[in-house]
A and B are shown apart, each in its own frame.
Chain A
Amino acid sequence: METKIQIEEPVIQSEVKTVSRKKVKLKGILTYGAFVGPALLFFLVIQIIPFSMGIYYSFTSWNGVSSVVEWVGLENYIKIFKNDPKFFDSFIFTTKFMFASVIISNLIGFGLALLLNAALKSRNLLRTVFFIPNVIGGLLLGFIWQFIFVKGFAAIGNLTDLSIFKLPWLGDETTAFWGIVIVFAWQISGYMMVIYIAALQGVDQNLLEAARIDGASNWTLLTKIIIPLILPAFTICFFLTISMAFKIFDLNISLTGGGPFNSTQSVAINIYQEAFQNNRYGLGTAKSILFFLVVAIFTTVQVMMTKKREVEA
């Protein structure tokens, strides 16, 4: 509290010297509170208090209905680790999904950015086209692609006779997995592309010209100059895609609903069902705390790793 008031004193004091120090201090605190207070209040009530309650409830038998909430210690966590294979399956699915979709959507996004960074006549139009899927929410996208996989692919299969379009995409575990990856990449690539384009435009053209005159090939330019220069964009894009992929819910629920046979059930869906369908709130919160820890570790490790490389480069 002390430090922040200091800056106000000179201004006010020089004007109204008669006002006592105490009053100035109080006024400073009040204005600070008036400006920062509302944001802080909403943030505390909506996120921090429930988060802390969650940590407590994860050690209880809370079922959401009964008013008796019993302290059960680590029982929920033990239950999760000992006999909840479905939860682990959902973790494995989500992790695999995250790796596949992060790699694919960043490859496509970066590729599109390189393409549109050339002097194409249609670059603005194409940029709009590639970005459109991103403004549609995951839920509606999932429904749209359910139709594409079921009816659209069948129609394309009949026209082209390509066997890949004749697979039962959402009915088989492997293809359902890749189905979600495809839709996720379709949605996110345009977003990543926009970030990569912004970074590419910041690359000094003279530098590239100089290297080209020295006989560097396009590939060398890309790997030795462009990519090292725009590593911060990779940090951002990886951070965004990792956290989006790991928390996938809407798209997952409308595209496959977790099926076939729960093979594509994400952690977010598992937690949702545990709490709101099985009414095991205590167990659900324990799962959600574990989920939080994993997300926090993943994203911190990733940011640290790419940041480190940024410094080295």
Chain B
Amino acid sequence: MNPKYTKYTFLLEMIGIVLGVIFLIPFYFVLVNSVKGFADILIDAAAWPKEFLFSNYVKVWDIINFPRAFWNSLIITVISNIGLVVISSMAAWKMVRTPGKLSKILFVFFVSAMVIPFQTVMIPLMKLGGALNLTNSIPGLIIMYFGFGVPLSLFLYHGFIKTVPIEIEESARIDGCSQFGVFWRIVFPLLKPITVTVVILNTLWIWNDYLLPLLVLQDAELRTIPLATSSFFAQYTKQWDMGLAALVMGITPVIIFFLFLQKHIIKGIASGSIK
């Protein structure tokens, strides 16, 4: 990196700031108009609000039952993440530490499924899910996330475990530790960096996912945030005063999550993609 701060760098800095402001303009529009009355939005959407009306938020909070939707999204995301970390890290470790044909074939099998689009699986999955009682239930949806999340999570763990030296595990084994003991007490803590990446990628995907919950969850009280938002928009078309408040509420949790963990997220995304 060039340490000198020249005129040229200053120019680049200005360009960067202008682009950054352009990137943020949509958020300005959404925030500012979410506290306006409907008539004021129609008059001038760019203007600063004359008065701040939080009644939009109060109304929408009840209509979409925000606490319920938030709770559903949270439960689904957290449990899916825990399950994916457990099953993928265990499988990947065993596969890396047991070289041979079987492990190789399984690995290719898992990874090549990543090219299958969701749309190719969804129609028969709904039939199978119905037969297995997985539909219209949050545990059922979580099980489906296990199945869809395994290939990428396992792939990331697999790549990482290959770089973990085997010697520590071997000495623990000789000391009489069981395989599960070796894995959970010694190996798993070493996998922390890639676990962070796996959790971040899966969280952003599952939290924002729309189509799978749309197909699986029918009852209103099971709705996640994207489902609650879309059903709100289906019912109240063009009612932007409330619609924008719904959008602000919908995006706030994930933006807070990002701002708190941004260093890890950006690092995790970069390393997750380069692997």
Contact = CB atoms under 8 A, between A and B. Distances in A.
Give the size range of B's interface with the partner: 35 or more
B144 interface: yes
B266 interface: yes
B164 to A, nearest CB: 16
Given A46-B147, A53-B127, A151-B240, A36 B94 contact: yes
A129 B23 CA distance: 7
B148 A39 contact: no
A45 interface: yes
Nearest to B266: A194
Contacts of A295: 115, 117
Contacts of A205: 1
Contacts of A151: 29, 33, 41-42, 45, 240
A295 B115 CA distance: 7
Interface stretch (A132-140, A220-228, A304-312): A132-140
A233 B115 contact: no
Interface in B3-18: 3-5, 9, 12-13, 15-17
A72 interface: no
Interface stretch (B49-57, B58-66, B190-198, B267-275): B267-275
A243 B130 CA distance: 29
A48 B119 contact: no
A236 B20 contact: no
B98 interface: yes
A35 B93 contact: yes
B40 to A, nearest CB: 11
B197 to A, nearest CB: 12
Contacts of A31: 94, 179
Interface string B69-87: 0000000000000000011
Contacts of A24: none
B117 A281 contact: no
A232 B4 CA distance: 30
B128 interface: yes
Given A50-B124, A118-B12, A197-B270, A7 B97 contact: yes
Give the size range of A's interface with the partner: 35 or more
Contact of B118 (A15, A38, A139, A247): A247
B144 to A, nearest CB: 5
B136 interface: no
B123 interface: yes
A236 B26 contact: no
B46 A46 contact: no
B204 interface: yes
A254 to B, nearest CB: 7
Interface in A105-128: 112, 115-123, 125-128
Nearest to A267: B119
A30 B49 CA distance: 66
Given A121-B13, A143-B229, 20 more contacts: A46-B125, A48-B113, A49-B124, A50-B125, A120-B13, A128-B266, A129-B20, A132-B24, A136-B255, A137-B226, A137-B254, A144-B247, A151-B240, A198-B271, A233-B274, A247-B119, A254-B233, A276-B215, A281-B123, A288-B122
Q: Would you list the 3 A-B pairs with minimal beta carbon distance, nearest first?
A: A46-B147, A137-B208, A3-B100
19 contacts: A35-B90, A36-B91, A38-B86, A39-B91, A54-B124, A119-B3, A119-B5, A119-B9, A120-B12, A122-B20, A128-B262, A137-B226, A148-B26, A152-B29, A152-B46, A233-B274, A275-B122, A288-B117, A291-B120
Interface of A: 1-4, 6-8, 11, 15, 31-32, 34-36, 38-40, 42-43, 45-51, 53-54, 57, 64, 112, 115-123, 125-140, 143-145, 147-148, 151-152, 154-156, 158-159, 186, 191, 194-195, 197-199, 205, 232-233, 236, 240, 243, 246-247, 249-250, 254, 267-268, 271-272, 275-276, 281, 284-285, 288-289, 291-292, 295-296, 299-300
